[in-house]
Amino acid sequence: MTQTFKNVVCPGCACLCDDVTLTLGQNELIDFQPGCSLGRNWFASKLQKVSQAVVSPAGSLAYADGIDRAADLLNQADYPLIYGLSRSSTPGQRAAVELGEALRGVVDTTASLCHGPSIMALQEFGEVTCTLGEVRNRADLVIFWGCNPADSHPRHAERYSVTAKGQLIPGGRADRKIVMIGSEDQIHQWRLDHNGTEPDLTIAVPKGKDFEMLSTLNRMVQHITAQGKPVDDVSDDFRTLMKMICDCHYGVFFFGLGLAETGSWGGTERTGIGHINVAALLHLVAELNAITRFTARRMRLQGDVSGADNVLCWQTAYPFAVDFSRGYPRYNPGEYTTNELLERGDVDAALLVGAETVQHLTSEAKTHLAKIPSVILDYPGSEKPFVADVAFTTAVYGLHAPGTAYRMDNVPLDLKKMVPSDLPTDETVLQDLLKKLKELDPTL
């Protein structure tokens, strides 16, 4: 027996495309439309049948025994870490924050390994931003900086930014100018989409020179606003780009990890200055609004990483790297972020709500993570990066359970239940852990 579901939200990436049609059979994906390999693979893997919902190194466990074992490990820890959350949903994320506060540990999200520098920059400088719908309907100049949208967000171009037709952009690609900017060793392999759509202008940036290029563009904007004419001592690419900017009615920068210079995701070594690059871009965007309308948007990766930011913000006032050791939330990237906590050996237990980003930790961090007691909550079909003391396979929000996810532009979308499952949700597991911990320690 097959079932067809229309207007499904796909959490395969942070675009959260909400026009998907799924045809499902018994524990298998029959059809996924419109075509997107990332979304298809995401749903296909999550439909895998699970034979053991709770496992330990010694074998499978009953659910209650798994809760008892996990609670005992966390109760013995002095300073536990709760990490991940970007593949969860609002109910699970809220439960994770509540548990972290009760344990007086640290709650961190995958943002600390990807767009953490971008968040730090916008906290410092502010952000002129927009929704993806606004880009679709208004933007006649789209600039991608430090990202490869064809691979990271396969349908971004057709739905929002390149070929999409909008209210004021009825011709789609014909009414837009597209620019791609990135490191000289990668830019020529990057693509807008898998249909071979070409940008109007490609600019290769020497390694580590993003800030210098942004500073030059800022100088050109200031000269234009003050003198009313462009500067002469710049390259042809700069002059072409600035003419496109001055001629457009509505422009947008989509920037990725290549600009934020974040670990292996950004394709660069960690320099510690990614937030400075992003701050320079945000400053440029603000200055450009003296010439024309311009905005900026981060190209978030995981399906609900923006949701994790939002939930932590309205629960603790901070978006990631939140410490509860003093009984109230404190925020300090670099001190309370997962990679650095593990590298220093500060935490003595870990609970991972989704382990898909563990591969992007440094080798020192992964070594310490493998040494300490650990609990993993993850979806069916997810590869476990190491053997945890207790591993729960949980129900998938947007497939087995309802929930809320936030698109990369912070627009919340409803996730609906489509197929039944006996698996517990993240929220259920985390709430049961907290209940058990309060039995072990009534002072929590």
Query: Which of 277, 130, 141, 299 is closest to 218 using CA atoms?
Result: 277
Strand order in the sheet with 3-8: 3-8, 20-24, 29-33
pLDDT for position 33: 95
- Domains in the chain, CATH or no CATH each: 52-113+304-440 (3.40.50.740), 116-298 (3.40.228.10)
**What is the maximal distance between C-alpha atoms in the chain?**
73
Specify the pLDDT at position 271. Answer: 53
pLDDT tens-place string over residues 143-172: 999 999 999 999 999 999 999 999 999 999
Task: Give the start-end residues of each E strand in 305-421.
Answer: 322-323, 330-331, 349-353, 374-378, 390-393, 403-406, 412-415
Q: What confidence tier does 266 reach under pLDDT thresholds 50, 70, 90?
A: very low
Q: Is the model's pLDDT at 185 over the cut of 90?
A: no
Average pLDDT over residues 385-396: 94
d(CA 60, CA 80): 24
Please tell me the predicted confidence (pLDDT) of residue 253.
98
Q: Among candidates 27, 68, 33, which has minimal Cα distance to 46?
A: 27
For residues 162-190, average pLDDT: 94
267 pLDDT band (50/70/90 cuts)? very low
Model confidence over 354-380: pLDDT tens digits? Answer: 998 999 999 999 999 999 999 999 999
Nearest to 55 by CA among 429, 378, 381, 389: 389
> Quick check: 292 and 245 in contact, CB under 8 A?
yes
Taking residues 114-123, what's their average pLDDT? 91
Number of helices followed by number of strands (H, E) in the chain: 15, 19
Reference 399, options 143, 67, 45, 141; nearest CA is 45
Q: How far apart are the two ends of the chain, measured CA to CA in Å?
A: 48
Helix (H) or strand (E) holding 169: none
DSSP string, 202-251: EEEE-TT-HHHHHHHHHHHHHHHHHHSS--SSS-HHHHHHHHHHHH-SEE
pLDDT for res 228: 63
The Cα-based distances of 104 to 20, 225, 310 in angstroms read 41, 51, 21
The strand pairing partners of 250, in sequence order, are 293
Are 416 and 3 in contact, with CB atoms under 8 Å apart? no
**Residue that is written with structure tokens 């129900």 in the block:** 395
Mean pLDDT of the 200-217 span: 92
* pLDDT surpassing 90 at residue 382: no
Q: Is the dihedral of CA 311, 119, 100, 395 positive or negative?
A: positive
Q: In this structure, what are the phi and psi dihedrals at residue 377, rounded to the nearest 5 degrees? A: -110, 125
Which structure tokens are listed for 99?
A: 């548990």
- Residue 265 pLDDT > 50: no
Average pLDDT, the chain: 92
- The pLDDT tens digits of the residues spanning 286-328 come to 999 999 999 999 999 888 999 999 999 999 999 999 999 999 9
Q: Alpha helix locations (H) across 18-115?
A: 37-46, 63-76, 90-103
The pLDDT of residue 419 is 93
pLDDT of res. 208: 85
Q: Return the SS3 of 70.
A: helix
> Is the pLDDT at 227 greater than 80, yes or no?
no
